[in-house]
Structure 1
Amino acid sequence: GTRNTATRLLLRSPHGSPETYTQNVAGVPMTVLKTSIIFEKKWLAIQIDAAAACPSLEGSVSSTPNTISWFLPRHIDPLVSSGHFRLLEVHMGVDGQRLDPPAEMAARGYTLSVNDVYIVVEIPIGAVGGYFKSRVQDDHYYTYYAIEPMLEVLWTEETTHEDTRYKVLFPITTPLLVSNSQVIDNTVSNGRGCLKCCFGPPWAPDVALMNIAFPSEVLSVADCNVRGFNVLEHMSPNSSTKVFTLNVPFTDRVVLQMSEKGVTVYSLHLTFGLLVLPEFAPFSHTAYLETKLMDIVPPSVSGGCDHQSFYVLVKYGTLNFQTVVGKRMLTPVLAQQYGFVENGTHTSFAVPFTAPDVVVFEAVEGSSIRTRLEVVLRNPETNKIVKEFSMACSFYSTLTECFPNGTMTALAVKLESVPSLNPSQLTLRDPTCRPSYSDDSYAYFVFTGSSCGTTRKFLENMMLYENEISLPAELEMNRESKADEPEYELKVSCYYDINKTHAVAFHPRPRRSEPYAKNARGELQITMRLALDDSYSAFYTGDDYPIIKYLQQPLYFEVELMRSSNPEVSLELENCWATLDEDRTTQPRWNLLINGCVNPVDPSQVIFHPVLADARARYPSHFKRFEVNMFAFAEDKDNLSRQLFVHCDTVICDARNPLGGVCNGQCSNQENRIKGQRRAVSDGQTFTHVSSGPILVN
């Protein structure tokens, strides 16, 4: 049929009309319709030739599992008869709507390209603009993807300069895609609570889940949700597909349970009933879910007390856990302190009743403290409590001591009922009498019966001294805002007998022999000093160290045997050496004296100075004086050390009983001097070490 307006002529024709024919254009079969329309008016006749060409699916469309490709000839002969033309414009759209700008095509994944023969359109299967449709055949589920792309083309003929516009809307459907229904079991093997599954191929949007059949009953989706099965539908981000999820509690009667050797098997047979809309085509899918879970055996905790500790025994179960004792995690260091023992099935440890941040003081009961220990086992992954255990015991403790001289001591402990209490703020009745020692848990007081506000009462045959420990009045007023905390007050009492007699006996006995001194080992004091000069009349004191000296500046050392008035003993130097550190055993070291002799390889050898008797040196044999030139250790070829320490081994010799070695005189053993080697010191000698330093290099 035809239709015209003042500016437009419209021609319509069915595809299969007798006037149409098929023409192969660049390998693409096209249905062609050509018409000639003549308009006559008086002496004027106008003939309009028009042509239309529609491509066929066969030959112009190819598809893969992921992409649809549409090929439209670049030169359509029935429309543009001239071989000399130019392609001016190509636009793409969907459902009759042009897609502009190109970014919109890119966002959908469409591509449009032109080569010498074809205009090529590529569309991803599942892209926006198309849709999936379901079909059921013999209870099998299939889908296909449908989309209606559009192309608008503008040609111009170079000879006649006439433009030809071409617009084609081309519905495309893919072949049927086989969609194998599957159920993914999402039940976590160590999970608790329910069987979980995800059901789908995924489905097209036109699929509806109607019911679920179990071996004993059939439930609609609404009935499943009321029953607590939690059936949900999940659409894809672009709303092109969807899946269903199902959670069924282990405890529901449709779930089968079987236990054997500590493992419980949960299984479920079910059939999903589905419809394809709007055709209401039914189909179904049968599934089987199964999961195996280790039976949960929680750990157990037990315990007891003795006179000073809590004893805890933990029996393992099937759950992993971390142990929290009081407020502290049971770390390896803390476990070692508590004597942690483990045997594969149990652990045990002992916690002292005074352990800080672990135990809680509940109350003071006479001469004992009621103390509570709390043990919590936590899941390390979820931090949830697996087991809680608490026990309380009364432990004897000396809270108050009364001494015969009237001194009294008292120990105040912080109780659970007063969590904001600061023990260091507690005082006796006299607010100036504060604790002798305190920490976060205790306050310890020392006072007398006549101080700190202590009162005295006379009772029958005894005297009572009393005091009390509490917060000062001004601090107690500040705590009134904490109405839930009681006032802290601890009574301190001491009882003394008024009349008590102790018998003391003394029996003299005649002396059977004269008193005598017994031979035994003792210890003599030896000191080492650094003199200001070689007169040895003035010395550096401890406050002068570290002492600063120039390289090669003489150092004058004096070693003295102190507190001895025996002229028969003498002080000898066995070995002297220098080190970088105060520790005399460290390396490097430089020997100054070896077995009483100067070091033969020392370029600046030790010089001994004689000691003459004077008011200070009454016994010259008790002194040794020597001179060393200041030197430094070389840390490397460019750096010298900044300090050194000098050490000596000394020997006390008895002139009446010489033991040989250095007791025969300084460097009396020539063999040792030549070899320059230290020798072992006899056990019979009194051997003492002295040191001086640090001495800094300027």
Structure 2
Amino acid sequence: MSSTKDHKPECLGNIVRLHVAAVLGNVNSIVNDSKVIELTPNLAAQCGFRYKFDRMGNAMLFASLLNCLAQSKDDKTLNLATQLRLHGKLMPVDYTCSYTWASREILCDDVYMEASGRIPKGGSLLPYEGHWFRTFTSLEIPSRSEVDEVQRKGYAIANTPTRLVLRSPHGKEETYLQNVAGVPMKVLSTSIFFEQKWLVAQVDATVACPTQGSVTFTPELITWYLPRHIDPLFSSDAFTMLELYMGIDGKRLDKKEMAARKYSVSLMEVHVIVKIPVGAVGGYYKSHVQDNQYFSTYAIEPMLELLWIEEDSHEDTRYKVLFPITTPPVARPLLVLNYAVPEQALVFKLGTFNLDVELVNVTLSTGVLTVAECNARGFNVQEEMSEDNLSKSFSMAVPFMDPAVFHENRPEQGVTSFTLHLIYGLVVLPENMAFSHSASVNAILMNVVPHSISGVCDQENFYITVNYGNQAPLFEVMVGGWLLTAELAEQYVTEGESRITLTSIHASAVRSRLSVALLNPFTNVTMKDFTLGCTFHKRLTECFSNGTMTALAVKVESTPNLNPGQLTLTDRSCGPDYSDDRFAYFSFNVNSCGTTRKFIDDLILYENEISLPDKLKVKTASGLDDDYHLTVSCYYMINNTQSLAYHRKPCNNEPSAKTESQLLVVMRIATDASYKTFHQVEEYPVVRYLRQPLHIEVELTRSTDPEVELVLDHCWATLDKDRNSKPRWNLIIKGCEYPEDPYRVVFNTVVADSRVLYPSHFKRFEVHIAAFTGEVDELTDKIFVHCDVFVCDPSSPVKGQCSGQCVNQNNSKRGMDCLRLFS
């Protein structure tokens, strides 16, 4: 078997199938031995040819192996060498097929019926009195016709070396309908007479083929019934079914292929039943238009091939049916589906369609545009396939600003409406059947409220608010030039000044600035920026009664290259006690480090200056020195006497054992109830408001003895550093909360963690600021908290304060193994 670029001949039993490219179109004629034969539909059926088209116009040509142009020497091998003319183009067809014939072959095609049988052995075929005779039986009325007359009626009668063949197009007047097992069938009863040497022989050429009445439909399933015993073809009821095959487009399928396509064929007692799901592989959906309405059908061409043998005659019959099926048309309402509307366009799609529909143009209020013109105008027309590749839709995106889009602003509702009216121009291929669909697309958007940033400050913090408006939060937040991540946000809680720019400092205040920007993450363009400057009242200089001064020097915006660790006092040998990249902390005596003294009335003014040594000053790009100067000062009363009291309280009994060690008790204020972070030295005094809790922790340091326990004896607050000053607020009395305080102290449990190795060395409690307002009209000054503590050995069998926190207040005795300390 040979093939060419434009077609693929396939030998499929007693038929041949050829695929013809769509560009070649219909088969117009056959060129055989230079003779042009016009292949009309009637002649094609009479000659044993049929061609059909799929939804896109691709042709498939079927030919009986015994067609009128086939050549054979022994009927075992048949060949055809000819040319098909298709719209002026010649397509060579050259094939050779081998086939083993049954005694009788019946072929039911969509356009013809064919029967062939063996010529009896023992003689050569001669005309009977110069004529062939054919007898038709139609509705039991016999008639006789000569061969020429029969062929003029459109029938074909031919013989090969061993076989006779009769072919009849469908719809001939001698054909009649017969109900066989409930299935309507077309029947042509025929006998052919021919002469052998001493006798006249007769060959039965009856044909019976199913009609479309043998098919039933549901929306999901096609069911085709074929009688198992086709009465007109049998001489008795005794027969054996030898073979049963199902196929598509004339080609057999194996069980695995049928299962994959969900086909089924069942050999029942009365019928052979074929079931095919609508939409299954092997068929296709076809579009139709009626009164500008869109319809769809599903088409498929199953094949049944049966082989049986009759017990009386012992002759076999091969029965093959090529049976095109098309489901009834189903209306397919077309829908325009709106997508989620982006910022600048109406986005929508029309669907769904079968694959044989194309979009040709779109009519708008401004005129008719082809698909190419739509895309040139920015509409982005796209053809979108479904997931199963069985249907498609057409999507468009029309900008809001296009002249064809109608705008309506509704200020009372705070929205704007966008409406587009259009008409789709469509066509069904390959028939080029045109139809249209009108649609309106509408979108309502809230009037744009852009992103905004605002901020305020209180005594200690910046508060920044980012308002989304009615826009999606498609931005990144930059704080102080850094991307705000979860880690950076945590730093702002624990290291709040790390991304804040300090613009200036004074003895009692710091001027700071925080910059916030919204950044487009895709273009890195700043969408919105905001800067907030605030003054925070901070005491940067502390003056102590023992003549110690402390000062905090903070890096400011005007000295970006400053290393705070290089700052010194007037005496360049006096550097900071502690420094990092943001500040330097100094502690010195008023009689050292170059501190000056000046008498002003009954006051003494001590001053010093924090600055950068000349040799470390750096020239900036502007040519100015990166200079830094901060003056710190303290005032003392000339005539002022302060008393310092102490007392010793002995234990009731001498200790049973003595040890020597240095212990240190530290009291600190936590930032919150977790006691994870604490206010640093430079942050004092800490500001709190009424009803805000003050979280206090007392720790015994320099001890690694897990048996030692720290116990709070007395804790109280004053307005002065003097622990004996008035007014005084009692917080803890004899280890317990002060019972007369309406805002009682709350003791917090201490558990071990990475910082707390010995929980017994810690005590934690919290006090409400409102507890300090009872004896004064207004709190405007500092509050000082004092505590007396015991360091106890709990293993010693003693009572009193060393028996644990909050013991019996009536027991005035002290434990034996105790050491009393004062804060």
TM-score interval, normalised by the smaller of the two chains = 0.5 to 0.7
Distance 1:650 1:142 in 2: 97
Partner of 1:389: 530
Distance 2:485 2:528 in 1: 15
Given the alignment, which residue of 197, 203, 219 partners 1:65? 219
CA positional deviation for 1:585: 12
CA positional deviation for 1:97: 1.9
1:616-627 equivalence runs, <5 A: none
Structure 1 pair 239–95 and aligned structure 2 pair: CA distance change class (3 A): farther
Given the alignment, which residue of 281, 285, 303 partners 1:132? 285
Is 1:78 the counterpart of 2:221 in the alignment? no
Q: Check whether the contact 1:323–1:375 (CA below 8 A) recurs between aligned residues.
A: no
Partner of 1:649: 800
Structure 1 pair 384–285 and aligned structure 2 pair: CA distance change class (3 A): farther
Distance 2:537 2:747 in 1: 49
Partner of 1:211: 361
Distance 2:455 2:476 in 1: 14
CA positional deviation for 1:53: 1.8
Instruction: Give CA deviations for 1:571-592 in whole Å, capped at 9, x if unaligned.
Output: xxxx99xxxxxx9999xxxxxx
Partner of 2:422: 270
CA positional deviation for 1:646: 5.5
Given the alignment, which residue of 417, 436, 446 partners 1:294? 446
CA positional deviation for 1:56: 0.4
Q: Check whether the contact 1:369–1:394 (CA below 8 A) recurs between aligned residues.
A: yes
Distance 2:318 2:205 in 1: 12
Partner of 2:183: 28
TM-score (structure 1 length as normaliser): 0.57
Structure 1 pair 57–396 and aligned structure 2 pair: CA distance change class (3 A): same
Given the alignment, which residue of 313, 329, 346 partners 1:195? 346
Aligned residue type for 1:290: N
Distance 1:485 1:71 in 2: 97
Structure 1 pair 443–144 and aligned structure 2 pair: CA distance change class (3 A): same
Instruction: Give CA deviations for 1:458-479 in whole Å, capped at 9, x if unaligned.
Output: xxxx9999754999xxxxxxxx
Q: Check whether the contact 1:187–1:194 (CA below 8 A) recurs between aligned residues.
A: no
Structure 1 pair 172–467 and aligned structure 2 pair: CA distance change class (3 A): closer
Structure 1 pair 31–355 and aligned structure 2 pair: CA distance change class (3 A): same
1:111-510 equivalence runs, <5 A: 111-158=264-311, 161-188=314-341, 191-200=342-351, 202-258=352-408, 259-261=410-412, 262-302=414-454, 312=464, 317-319=469-471, 324=477, 326=479, 355-360=496-501, 372-376=513-517, 387-391=528-532, 411=553, 413=555, 436-439=577-580, 441-442=582-583, 444=585, 468=613
Instruction: Give CA deviations for 1:273-326 in whole Å, capped at 9, x if unaligned.
Output: 222233333322221222222212124334578998656566673347599572
CA positional deviation for 1:209: 1.9
Structure 1 pair 318–384 and aligned structure 2 pair: CA distance change class (3 A): farther
CA positional deviation for 1:27: 0.7
Q: Check whether the contact 2:505–2:554 (CA below 8 A) recurs between aligned residues.
A: no
Structure 1 pair 446–158 and aligned structure 2 pair: CA distance change class (3 A): farther
Distance 1:647 1:192 in 2: 79
CA positional deviation for 1:169: 0.4
Partner of 2:123: none
Distance 2:243 2:203 in 1: 25
Aligned residue type for 2:404: V
Given the alignment, which residue of 161, 165, 170 partners 1:15? 170
Q: Check whether the contact 1:298–1:387 (CA below 8 A) recurs between aligned residues.
A: no
Q: Check whether the contact 2:345–2:400 (CA below 8 A) recurs between aligned residues.
A: yes
Structure 1 pair 435–544 and aligned structure 2 pair: CA distance change class (3 A): closer
CA positional deviation for 1:160: 5.0
TM-score (structure 2 length as normaliser): 0.49
Aligned residue type for 1:51: T
CA positional deviation for 1:93: 1.4
Distance 1:470 1:79 in 2: 122
Q: Check whether the contact 2:567–2:584 (CA below 8 A) recurs between aligned residues.
A: no
SS in 2 for 1:12: strand
Q: Check whether the contact 2:278–2:298 (CA below 8 A) recurs between aligned residues.
A: yes
CA positional deviation for 1:360: 4.3
Q: Check whether the contact 1:362–1:372 (CA below 8 A) recurs between aligned residues.
A: yes
Aligned residue type for 1:86: T
Distance 2:463 2:548 in 1: 39
Instruction: Give CA deviations for 1:137-182 in whole Å, capped at 9, x if unaligned.
Output: 2222222222211111222334555432211000111222122222
CA positional deviation for 1:490: 6.6
Q: Check whether the contact 1:69–1:122 (CA below 8 A) recurs between aligned residues.
A: yes
Distance 2:503 2:307 in 1: 95
Distance 2:234 2:796 in 1: 110
Structure 1 pair 197–47 and aligned structure 2 pair: CA distance change class (3 A): same
Aligned residue type for 1:208: E
Distance 1:466 1:220 in 2: 78
Q: Check whether the contact 2:541–2:549 (CA below 8 A) recurs between aligned residues.
A: no
Distance 1:375 1:541 in 2: 57
SS in 1 for 2:260: helix
Partner of 2:727: none
Distance 1:157 1:425 in 2: 115
Q: Check whether the contact 2:379–2:397 (CA below 8 A) recurs between aligned residues.
A: yes
CA positional deviation for 1:57: 0.2
Distance 2:358 2:211 in 1: 34
Distance 2:526 2:293 in 1: 50
Distance 1:216 1:154 in 2: 67
Flag structure 2 segments of 5+ consecutive residues without an equivalent.
1-155, 595-606, 662-702, 709-733, 736-745, 750-793, 819-823
Distance 2:541 2:659 in 1: 51
| CA RMSD across the alignment | 6.1
CA positional deviation for 1:376: 4.2
Structure 1 pair 316–240 and aligned structure 2 pair: CA distance change class (3 A): closer
Structure 1 pair 30–394 and aligned structure 2 pair: CA distance change class (3 A): same
Structure 1 pair 55–505 and aligned structure 2 pair: CA distance change class (3 A): closer
Q: Check whether the contact 1:300–1:314 (CA below 8 A) recurs between aligned residues.
A: yes
SS in 2 for 1:105: helix
Aligned residue type for 2:447: D
Structure 1 pair 70–384 and aligned structure 2 pair: CA distance change class (3 A): farther
SS in 1 for 2:397: strand
Partner of 1:106: 259
Distance 1:288 1:438 in 2: 71
Q: Check whether the contact 1:213–1:271 (CA below 8 A) recurs between aligned residues.
A: yes
Aligned residue type for 1:63: F
Aligned residue type for 1:437: Y
SS in 2 for 1:126: coil
CA positional deviation for 1:61: 0.7
Distance 2:536 2:516 in 1: 19
Q: Check whether the contact 1:360–1:416 (CA below 8 A) recurs between aligned residues.
A: no
Partner of 1:563: none
